[in-house]
Amino acid sequence: MSHPWRGVVEWTAGSCERFIWHPETGTLAPYRTEPRPAPVNYGCLPGTHNPADHAEVDAVWLGETRPVGTRTEEVPTGLLWLADGDHKVVFGDPARAAGLLAWFPPERGARLLGPEEAQAWLAEVGRPDGA
C-alpha cells in the first residue's frame, strides 16, 4: 500500500547553491556551490538510511520550483534507479523526468521505475526512526 513520506528540499531547481540537512539538529546549512544548476528540486527523506552512501535517502521533486527548506509529505511517483545503488525517490509527474534522466552520465545507468518499485525499495531500506 502506498503511503506518504516526509521530505525536505536541500537544493532548488535552477540553482547552483546546495544546502545539507543535519538530522541531529533538524536544520539546513549551506553545503557547496555546484558547477551546474539542479534540473529538479533535490533533497532527502529525513529519518531514512540509504546503504549505498550511508546518508538519508535522496529525493527529487519534479515540477514547480520549491525553495530550500520546503518540507513535504507525499506519496512517491517513481524511483530513479542507478547502477551504483544510490537510488532517488521521485515525487511529481514522471512525464517531467527527462531533464533528471539526462543529468546523470550514462555510466550511472539512470532509469525511471514506477511507484511500486519506489515503495518496495523504501520498505527494504526501512525507516530507522520508526516513523
Q: Mind listing the pLDDT tens digit for each residue in 13-61?
A: 999 999 999 988 989 999 999 999 999 999 999 989 999 998 899 999 9
Look at residue 130 and tell me if it is in a domain: no
Q: What's the pLDDT score for residue 1?
A: 56
Contact status, residue 63 vs residue 45, Cβ threshold 8 Å: no
| Three-class SS of the chain | CCCCEEEEEEECCCCCEEEEEECCCCEEEEEEECCCCCCCEEEEEEEEEECCCCEEEEEEECCCCCCCCCEEEECCCEEEECCCCCCEEEECCHHHCHHHHHHCCHHHCCEEECHHHHHHHHHHHCCCCCC
Q: Is residue 129's pLDDT more than 60?
A: no
Round the average pLDDT of the chain to a whole number and report it. Answer: 92
pTM above 0.85, yes or no: yes
Q: What's the pLDDT score for residue 17?
A: 98
Look at residue 131 and tell me if it is in a domain: no
Which domain range does residue 41 map to?
5-125
Q: Is residue 5's pLDDT more than 50?
A: yes
CATH of the domain at 52: 3.90.80.10
Q: What's the pLDDT score for residue 23?
A: 84
Look at residue 115 and tell me if it is in a domain: yes
Look at residue 85 and tell me if it is in a domain: yes
When divided into structural domains, the chain yields a total of: 1
Look at residue 40 and tell me if it is in a domain: yes
Neighbour-count burial of 92, counting CB atoms closer than 10 A to its CB (0-12 exposed, 13-18 middle, 19+ buried):
buried
Q: Is residue 84's pLDDT more than 70?
A: yes
Q: What's the pLDDT score for residue 108?
A: 95
Q: Residue 115: left (phi > 0), alpha (psi -120 to 50), or beta? A: alpha
pLDDT tens-digit series, residues 7-25: 999 999 999 999 999 988 9
Look at residue 99 and tell me if it is in a domain: yes
* Distance separating alpha carbons of residues 109 and 48, to the nearest angstrom: 24
Q: What's the pLDDT score for residue 130?
A: 42
